[in-house]
Structure 1
Amino acid sequence: MTPFHLAFPVRNLEETRAFYQDVLGCAIGRSSETWVDFDLFGHQMSAHLRPGVPTAANDGQVGGKLVPIPHFGVVLPMEDWQALADRLQARDDVDWLEHPMVRFAGEPGEQATLFIRDPSGNALEFKGFRSLEQVFAH
């Protein structure tokens, strides 16, 4: 699999650096005064400074639960997802939208999921699968 690239708006680069590096464990790549690249589980995320531009989310429904739209994140093997979920739950500074849960239990595509918000209000979802072949199951 090849990595994806996503550029997204943030209100403050320093708080964004702290969140993605300290909370999520991302390595920092190239940066300037107006943007910074992060390695999010092998994918290139580029945070671009856009003060005053709020990130607005509307809710959509998935599996009977409301989820923020738009959102982005990473699909992980279950062991990696569980390690991330445990690390996030141990912190008291995480803005939870949806605590870790299992969606579609016992069905094709069963997945663990959690939603958090970064300091700029961007919604992130992390999914865990016991078998990555189930990502596109239906």
Structure 2
Amino acid sequence: MWVPVTDMDRARAFYRDTLGLSEGKTTEDWSEFDANGLMIGLNARESAQPASGGAVITFQPDGDLDAEVAALQDKGVEFGGIADHPWGRLAPFRDSEGNDLQFYAPPS
């Protein structure tokens, strides 16, 4: 899965420093991050801006969902709340470039 980015340095800092994901291959136009087994590519070659209603990248946080949300809120990340469903929990947010992301936690 890849997402468009406007500012590669800002996007890399968000995924690496704010989300704490492991950074892989990095070039001026492309960077890869491991989101708990899901590879996310940051693509600066695409000029398309994210739009509401587009693709959403969903991945599991390394730790407890509530703790991860609280830690990221302390770093300035805004969440749309946590939704509880019979099939799991979702916590939607946006990256530094406006792309839609969400944490997922399976039911306990």
Q: What TM-score, normalized by structure 1, do the two folds share?
A: 0.68
- For 1:48 and 1:102, how far apart are their aligned partners in 2? 29
1:128, CA displacement in angstroms?
A: 1.3
TM alignment of 1:68-83, pairs within 5 A = 69-75=54-60, 79-83=63-67
Letter in 1 for 2:98: G
The higher radius of gyration belongs to 1
- For 2:61 and 2:71, how far apart are their aligned partners in 1? 15
- Number of aligned positions between the proteins: 108
1:102 aligns with 2:83: yes
Aligned to 2:92: 115
Aligned to 2:2: 7
Runs of 4+ in structure 1 over 4 Å off: none
Kept in 2: contact 1:10–1:47 (CA 8 A): yes
Letter in 2 for 1:117: R
Where 1:14 maps in the other structure, the secondary structure is helix
Structure 1's unaligned 5+ residue stretches are: 1-5, 59-68, 132-138
- For 2:68 and 2:16, how far apart are their aligned partners in 1? 13
- For 1:113 and 1:29, how far apart are their aligned partners in 2? 26
Deviations 1:32-64 (A, max 9, x none): 111011111122111110464211112xxxxxx
Q: What TM-score, normalized by structure 2, do the two folds share?
A: 0.84
- For 1:76 and 1:24, how far apart are their aligned partners in 2? 9
TM alignment of 1:18-97, pairs within 5 A = 18-50=13-45, 52-58=47-53, 69-75=54-60, 79-91=63-75, 93-96=76-79
- For 1:8 and 1:95, how far apart are their aligned partners in 2? 19
- For 2:51 and 2:65, how far apart are their aligned partners in 1? 26
Higher strand share: 1
Letter in 1 for 2:83: V
1:12, CA displacement in angstroms?
A: 1.1
Distance 1:51 1:43, change over 3 A: closer
